[in-house]
Amino acid sequence: MLIFRQLFDPTSSTYTYLLADRRSGEAVIIDPVFEQARRDAALVSELGLRLRWTLETHTHADHVTGA
């Protein structure tokens, strides 16, 4: 079963996505924002997941990456 969360950083108007496999507990965060790293880590922990990867879809001129 897939876990999907869409997160938003209002300062940079940036969307970040968390995708995970519930069975394995492995997760990826897509386009993380540096200032939101604690929020993202808390969500990963709350859901009982293990962050395995971060993915950048493009160069980010609007924020510093949280990868």
Give 4-63 pLDDT, tens digit per residue.
999 999 998 899 999 999 999 999 999 999 999 999 999 999 999 999 999 998 876 767
Both tokens of 52, joined, read 């395995």
Distance CA 5, CA 43 (A): 9
The verdict on residue 43 lying in a domain is: yes
For residues 49 and 26, is the Cβ–Cβ distance under 8 A? yes
Residue 18 belongs to domain spanning: 2-55
42 near 50, Cβ under 8 Å? Answer: no
Q: Residue 62's CB: how many other CB atoms inside 10 A?
A: 11
DSSP state of 10: T
Q: What is the tally of structural domains in the chain?
A: 1
Task: Look at 13 and 67; give whichever has higher pLDDT.
Answer: 13
Domain-embedded: residue 64: no
What is residue 64's predicted lDDT score, i.e. its pLDDT? 76
Q: For residue 3, is pLDDT > 70? A: yes
pLDDT at 62: 66
Alpha-carbon distance of 67 to 41, in angstroms, equals 12
